[in-house]
Structure 1
């Protein structure tokens, strides 16, 4: 019995959610239909605004082709990010040294560290530095270099050299997108390189991200998913994604 369009539609969208992209020939074999049928389905889904056709297949629609400014992003999914930040902060033990990259989710960890005095924070993020100087009572190390005014963080060779001087307990990493195919990605190459270095210099690398980033791929690759120790996200994350990440041996924590 052949699959209906609705059945094929669900399969295509599920595959797109997990992989970030689909290929016509792969779908043809999976659905046991002709490539012409798959192409018609992709045409229809593109008209529905569910995907964007590319040569040989389709990719997931991106809500943002470029990253919004930091202050605008800070207001997006704010409650979810705050809950993720609270859960992430609870994992930090006294005496630990942590790194935070430049993100509107990582910055939400800071309010829950304000009374912690025996923690060392290393960051290249100007917004996180500013907030830490106002509220944090532990030790602060700012990883300098050339400050990019667009995304308000230091990056480049000097930043990379400074990060090489440290070995830390935990690195908290933000994300532009998460895909089983492309791994962890960011909008900016310079920021992706800093996040990658932090992962390399940490005993544990913890990804902090709201559910909207799953199934997305952005410009610059940070790392493979397997290089992450843990993912902290919100309850909007689908069971399929949780299962897929845990299958890779990565622990997943869901915030309240």
Structure 2
């Protein structure tokens, strides 16, 4: 019994979410239908804005939207980010030094560390620094430099030079998008480069991201997915994504 368009549609979109692209002939073989049927399916999905047709198949529609402000992002997926922050904070051992990049999810980690006098936090994020100033019992080091007022974080050569002075236990990295084809990406090039540098200065890189970031590609690559050891996310992350990450030897931790 052949699959309906809706059934084919779900499989096509799931493959796009994890792989970033689909091929007409491969889909025709998978569904046991003609290539003309697949091309009509892709035409319909393109009109829905779910993909962009290219020669021989289709690719995922890139995220071209402007990143929301830090304040607006902090109000999105709040419960998921709180759960992720709690799970991530529990990974930090006694006496460890950690890096937190500039993100609303990494901010939640900082909030979970208030009573951890044994932890040292290094960050380039002004909101994370401000949170630490509100009663954090441990040590905080600001990787300063020129502060980008839009992103509320230090960027540029000075911040990179300061990070080069450290070697830490864990770096917690946030992202604008996660794609198997394009890796971990960010909207802003300077922030992507700084997160990449943090990954170079740590023994273990951990990505913290809610489910809305999966299957999304933004402007600048931070790193391939294989360069991280773990992703901390929420229960909204699909089993297909969990399986794909496990195949890359990336552990997935679900915050709850």
Partner of 2:91: 91
| 1:158 and 2:158 aligned | yes
Maintained 8 Å contact 2:84/2:105? yes
Q: Which runs of no fewer than 5 residues in structure 2 stay unpaired? A: none
Residues 68 and 121 of structure 1, relative CA distance in 2, 3 Å threshold: same
Question: d(CA) in 1 for partners of 2:121 and 2:137?
Answer: 10
Question: d(CA) in 2 for partners of 1:85 and 1:64?
Answer: 27
Superposition misfits of 4+ residues, deviation over 6 angstroms: none
Partner of 2:210: 210
- The total of aligned residue pairs comes to 255
Shift of residue 96, structure 1, vs aligned partner: 0.5
Q: CA RMSD in A?
A: 1.8
Shift of residue 33, structure 1, vs aligned partner: 4.1
| 1:65 and 2:44 aligned | no
Maintained 8 Å contact 1:111/1:135? no
Question: d(CA) in 2 for partners of 1:82 and 1:61?
Answer: 29
Maintained 8 Å contact 1:209/1:233? yes
Q: Secondary structure at the match of 1:134?
A: coil
Question: d(CA) in 2 for partners of 1:141 and 1:165?
Answer: 12
Partner of 1:52: 51
Question: d(CA) in 2 for partners of 1:28 and 1:142?
Answer: 54
Shift of residue 3, structure 1, vs aligned partner: 4.1
Q: Which runs of no fewer than 5 residues in structure 1 stay unpaired? A: none
1:237-252 matches, cutoff 5 A: 237-252=237-252
| 1:149 and 2:149 aligned | yes
Q: Secondary structure at the match of 1:181?
A: coil
- 1:200-219, Cα deviation, whole Å (9 max, x unpaired): 11111111110111111111
Maintained 8 Å contact 1:97/1:122? yes
Task: Give me the TM-score of the superposition, normalised by structure 2.
Answer: 0.93
- 1:171-207, Cα deviation, whole Å (9 max, x unpaired): 0000111111111111111111111111111111111
